[in-house]
């Protein structure tokens, strides 16, 4: 019975020793073995390994791409207008021993590297305009007026300015990380959000309203100018048409009067006495009525047709 207890105790001790002597390295990990806080070895290949039991400690670091979410920070641009920038970066631990010596833990790495990313981004934001930071610009027509879509909103197209800005931030961050010898490699730096701060929103909105008013005023001026051009052209065409119609009318009237005079002359030449008789009758009709009193000599020419009709022979008179 005592032998079984001893054997059981030895087996338990052996199990504990074996458990403390073996460790597994996953394909996603890299391991540092420390003894009383001092690094002893680095293992990056996956597998089963031995270590000194009870005195060696296994520190595991992720060998995959890690992410740093920097806090949103208000940063002034080149025009001294503050913008709230929310950024992130991705990195990988390439030298776990150096990483352990300088940063020790991933939490410390996120804090230190986040500060470096924010500092590099702040320097670049201070040299850039809002259009370059936002990375988009309005589509302008030939008159430098923003093009409007069917909903009345300006058409925005992405630009390369933001990409260029982030490339500069990435290079600056990479250089600072290399100089700090943190044992990591920066893979990428990106901005998640770039908004105006609450303090400058009113001024931004006022500038937007002023710009809209300027565009509207320009459109109205162009419309009035076009209206004047159309009206002037229409008035010119009207005057031309009226003048041409007047010319044609005068020509037609002239030809009509000439034809009337010719017909009248032909009629007069055919029977002058009858024409004179008709004209006399017309004159009688005009001035002789019940309300007209005319005192004339009986020898007046106007009465000659009443006294002696034209064409009457002397025998007829008698």
pLDDT in tens, 21-34: 788 888 888 888 88
Query: In the prediction, which pLDDT does 317 show?
Result: 42
Would you state the structure tokens that stand for residue 111, as one six-digit string? 């804090």
pLDDT averaged over every residue in the chain: 79
Kindly indicate the confidence band of residue 234, based on its pLDDT and cuts at 50, 70 and 90. Answer: very high
Question: In the structure, what pLDDT confidence band is assigned to residue 244 with cuts at 50, 70 and 90?
Answer: very high
Instruction: Output phi, psi for 296, to 5 deg.
Output: -130, 160
The 3-class secondary structure across 240-265, one letter per residue, is: HHHHHHHHHHHHHHHHHHHHHHHHHH
Q: Where are the alpha helices (DSSP H) in 181-318?
A: 201-270, 272-287, 304-307, 314-317
pTM: 0.55
Question: What domains appear along the chain, each with residue ranges and CATH number?
Answer: 2-62 (no CATH), 66-199 (3.30.479.30), 271-317 (no CATH)
**Tens of pLDDT, residues 297-311:** 666 666 665 555 555
Largest CA distance in the chain: 198
Element (H, E) at 142: none
- Per-residue model confidence (pLDDT) at position 318: 41
HSE of 181 in the Cβ direction (CA atoms, 13 Å)? 4
For 91, half-sphere exposure in the C-beta direction (CA atoms, 13 angstrom radius) is: 29
């Amino acid at each position: 019975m005592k032998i079984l207890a001893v054997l059981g105790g030895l087996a338990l001790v052996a199990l504990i020793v074996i458990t403390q002597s073996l460790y597994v390295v996953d394909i996603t990990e890299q391991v540092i073995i420390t003894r009383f806080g001092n690094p002893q070895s680095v293992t990056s290949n996956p597998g089963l390994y031995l270590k000194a039991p009870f005195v060696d400690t296994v520190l595991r670091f992720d060998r995959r791409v890690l992410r740093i979410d920097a806090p949103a920070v208000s940063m002034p641009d080149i025009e001294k207008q503050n913008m709230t920038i929310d950024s992130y970066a991705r990195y990988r631990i390439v030298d776990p021993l150096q990483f352990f010596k300088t940063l020790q833990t991933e939490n410390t790495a996120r804090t230190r590297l986040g500060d470096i990313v924010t500092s590099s981004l702040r320097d670049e934001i201070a040299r850039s305009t809002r259009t370059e930071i936002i990375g988009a610009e309005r589509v302008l027509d030939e008159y430098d007026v923003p093009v409007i879509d069917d909903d009345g909103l300006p058409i925005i197209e992405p630009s390369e300015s933001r990409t260029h800005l982030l490339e500069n931030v990435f290079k600056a961050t990479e250089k600072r990380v290399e100089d700090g010898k943190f044992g990591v490699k920066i893979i990428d730096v990106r901005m998640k959000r770039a908004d105006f701060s609450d303090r400058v929103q009113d001024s931004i909105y006022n500038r937007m309203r002023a710009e809209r008013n300027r565009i509207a005023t320009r459109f109205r001026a162009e419309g009035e100018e076009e209206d004047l051009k159309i009206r002037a052209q229409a008035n010119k065409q009207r005057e031309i048409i009226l003048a041409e119609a007047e010319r044609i009318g005068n020509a037609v009237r002239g030809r009509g009067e000439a034809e009337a005079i010719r017909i009248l002359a032909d009629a007069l030449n055919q029977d002058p006495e009858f024409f004179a008789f008709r004209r006399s009758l017309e004159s009688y009709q005009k001035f002789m009525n019940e309300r007209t009193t005319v005192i004339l000599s009986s020898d007046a020419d106007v009465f000659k047709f009443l006294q002696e009709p034209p064409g009457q022979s002397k025998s007829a008179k008698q």
